[in-house]
Amino acid sequence: MKKTAAILAGALVAGPALAQSQTTPEIRVDDASTVLPSGRIGIDIEPRGERPSVPHTGHGIEIGFTGTTGKDHQTRSAGAAPLVFGGRVFLGPNELNHEFDFGYVEFLYRYRAFFGETRTFGIEALGGLGYAAYNLTVTTPTQRAEEKLGSGGLVAGFGILWKFLPTTSLQSRLTLFGSGRNEGVTGAARWDLFVAQALGRHAAVRAGLTGWGLSSSRADDEDSDSINSLIRARFGGLGVGLELAF
């Protein structure tokens, strides 16, 4: 009740600013300098690979997790539409400082198929469940707001693999996440480009580039229960990972 009253009061104060802007206000957070460590457990179903750590044709299960932290700033000019977040109304002109923590876990079915006599090139398709958590803090010289956004949802992915050495491969993957909810993290997309090196039969390491984009619902969506402005976040950078394969 107190949060709603604060937002209504802020909206009354922000009336002139709303009249001057016809665009939908968005909280935008961009950080391309993050480091994203990740972990993955892969379990062959059929067939069982002689060396599970090397990608091969077959069905399997994947359990993956990753996370990172980052920051960004957003400049709001005079007359810009107000932003609403965490029970606060942020009016322009102002400089907003954003800090975030991100965490993600997924449980997927995976199918891989390699082609040709050498079985060098392959593709993979994935589907399953995931959970994304995005904790955001917004500050100005006079205000501070923090909120934890989290949602579970469905995951689908597609990848391309190239084994250019017997135990070394180049792997690219696009993964899409949708929560089906009208608040929290409503959608996300992830891309990876890694070089993977098998270490023995049951372990592999990965290094390369990875990036995320995600969004949340906003207060002016007809079906949304959120009182926040739309949040759009993009982050990425160096990706490093460890995989256990069985």
DSSP percent split of the chain into helix, strand, coil, nearest 5: 5, 65, 25
| Mean pLDDT on 50-70 | 95
Name the least confident of 166-175, 215-224, 237-246: 215-224
Strand 88-90, strand 83-85: pairing: antiparallel
Any idea what DSSP says for residue 57?
S
Is residue 24 very low, low, confident or very high in pLDDT (cuts 50, 70, 90)? low
Which element (helix H / strand E) includes 5?
helix 2-13
Q: Is the pLDDT of residue 124 over 60?
A: yes
Q: Is the pLDDT of residue 172 over 90?
A: yes
| Mean pLDDT on 39-47 | 94
pTM of the model: 0.84
Which element (helix H / strand E) includes 40?
strand 26-46
Q: Please give the full DSSP string across 63-84, using - where no structure is assigned.
A: EEEEEEEEEEEEEE-TTPPPEE
CA distance 135 to 85: 12
- Return the higher-pLDDT residue of 46 and 100: 100
Q: 2-245: which CATH topology?
A: Lipocalin (2.40.128)
CA distance 205 to 213: 24
- Return the higher-pLDDT residue of 223 and 71: 71
Q: Are 95 and 73 in contact (CB under 8 A)?
A: yes
Q: Is the pLDDT of residue 243 over 70?
A: yes
Return the HEC string of 136-184. EEEECCCCEEEEEEEEEEEEEEEEEEEEEECCEEEEEEEEEEECCCCCC
| Pure H helices in 14-47 | 15-20
Is residue 180 very low, low, confident or very high in pLDDT (cuts 50, 70, 90)? confident
Amino acid at 54: V
45 conformational bin, left if phi > 0, alpha if psi -120 to 50, beta if neither:
alpha
Mean of the per-residue pLDDT values of the chain: 87
What percent of the chain clears pLDDT 70, i.e. is strictly above it? Answer: 86
| Mean pLDDT on 101-126 | 95
- Of 126, 135, 184, the C-alpha closest to 158 is 126
- Of 195, 200, 207, the C-alpha closest to 245 is 200
What percent of the chain clears pLDDT 90, i.e. is strictly above it? Answer: 69
Q: Are 58 and 50 in contact (CB under 8 A)?
A: no
- Of 213, 177, 214, 150, the C-alpha closest to 64 is 177
CA distance 63 to 244: 10
Q: Is the pLDDT of residue 13 over 60?
A: no
Helix (H, G, I), strand (E, B) or coil at 39: strand
